[in-house]
Amino acid sequence: MESEEKKESTFKSVAKEIFIFILIAVGIVLPFRIYMAEPYIVSGASMDPTFESGDYLIVNKISYRFKNPERNTVVIFRYPNDTSKNFIKRIIGLPNETVVAKENTIRIINKKNPDGFEIDQSYIIHNVSLNFEKTLGPNEYFVMGDNRSESFDSRSWGPLEKKYILGEPILRLYPLSEIGVSPGKN
């Protein structure tokens, strides 16, 4: 009789420990996933060669709550015209700047550089001839894919408002040969 009670007591003890473990795991993992970091799988060729379709990234979702994105940073964001889709692009223009593209160069005009300056695009291997000028508002960013000929970006649908930016990649976990911290940084 005692052994049955002991078995039942052991079962209850183990069940209680499993339940507590699940509560703790959900209490830590869920908020972490919602507010701090999230996995993202690259789909498409718009960021070649920096990121290829199938790359598995971990996205830092918390940093842009405390600071603004910087030029040349790769960001993950909700596509403004269909927020159920997430995109990955590089920030080219910052709020209140004018982005001027002519042929293969991009110039940025802002208060600090009223004559403009040419941005470094050494990461580009698939260049295309560009011709546009866009002035950004106070919360707008101009984003483009690194593979300019294959990218659906701010050239097509306009500036990206900050509210759509989810975060930046902090880890690349796949492919294994490309594992690294801060992928996409120049």
3-class SS of residue 126: coil
Give the Cα separation of 168 and 89 in Å (integer).
10
Is 89 an active-site residue?
yes
Residue 19 three-state SS = helix
* Whether 54 contacts 44, CB under 8 Å: no
Q: Which residues contact 113 (CB under 8 A, 6 or more apart)?
A: none
Whether residue 77 contacts residue 166, with contact meaning beta carbons closer than 8 Å, is answered with yes
d(Cα 167, Cα 175) in Å, to the nearest integer?
21
> Which one is catalytic: 61, 89, 151, 154?
89
Considering the candidates 12, 13, 43, 46, report the single residue annotated as catalytic.
46
Mind telling me the catalytic residues?
46, 89
